[in-house]
Structure 1
Amino acid sequence: MAQLTTSENHSANALLQSDQPAFMTVYLAYAEDERRQHYLSLQIQHGATLYEALAQSGWLSKFTELAEWCEGVADIVTPTAKRWHVGIYAQKQPLSYRLQPFDRIEVYRSLSADPMSQRKSKSRSPDAR
């Protein structure tokens, strides 16, 4: 079995790394409200963060409330349950999260009421029968 010397090993690693594409595809989804939903496929550089993808997509310019929210939580490493507005495949992630190929970035909107409470209210109302 042949062994690579240090310089050969370094060259082999460089070749392997150069075989990886410089860009990857991620997807973005945002249901602004019941009628306005936004979807986007985006090519970003490997190693990009969730925040960088939002910026590159143009969504921070298009949705000012999202940009303001991002500014306020930029340094948070552990997402807080009720106040967090972004995630990957329904898992809340910090803005510093390093994206993987084909990740689905989801922007969550604030709900005016708890969906479970709304369903219970509807089932109790006389009109629901």
Structure 2
Amino acid sequence: MAETAPDMLGVTVCYATSKEEFLRPLRVAPGTTIGQAIEMSGVLEAYPDINLTTQPVGIYAKKKTLDTVLRERDRIEIYRPLVADPKESRRKRAAKRESAPDRTGG
């Protein structure tokens, strides 16, 4: 009968592209960091375009550093760069609404 280490933590490493997602549950030792878990998960081999120097990471949508120590049930997320600047997108939508003809009859 195999022994299980009760002090191991259950975490998940997540990364998504526009076409697929990577979800890898891991058992890690206490004291493991985000960076270490990402390396253990295999995501960097599966997606060689990931650059941890420039891409932010986080736990449950809160940005964290690679040296953040993990806790039980943490979901580690690697964020992709934004395709469009949200502020610029809002400006374009607002300009489009302002230039549209007034349909209220007034």
Scaled by the length of structure 2, what TM-score is found?
Answer: 0.72
Match of 2:26 among 29, 33, 42: 42
Aligned length: 93
Matched, 1:26 2:11: yes
2:70 alignment partner in structure 1: 99
Asked if 2 retains the 8 angstrom alpha-carbon contact of 1:49 and 1:96, the reply is yes
Cα displacement (A) at 1:122: 5.1
1:60 alignment partner in structure 2: 44
Cα displacement (A) at 1:118: 3.2
**Which runs of 5 or more residues in structure 1 are unaligned?**
1-19, 74-82
Scaled by the length of structure 1, what TM-score is found?
Answer: 0.60
Distance 1:62 1:32 in 2: 12
SS, match of residue 89 in structure 2: helix
Stretches of 4+ aligned residues off by more than 6 angstroms? none
2:80 alignment partner in structure 1: 109
Distance 2:56 2:27 in 1: 22
Distance 2:42 2:8 in 1: 18
Asked if 2 retains the 8 angstrom alpha-carbon contact of 1:87 and 1:107, the reply is yes
Asked if 2 retains the 8 angstrom alpha-carbon contact of 1:84 and 1:92, the reply is no
Distance 1:49 1:23 in 2: 13
Matched, 1:87 2:58: yes
Distance 2:15 2:90 in 1: 23
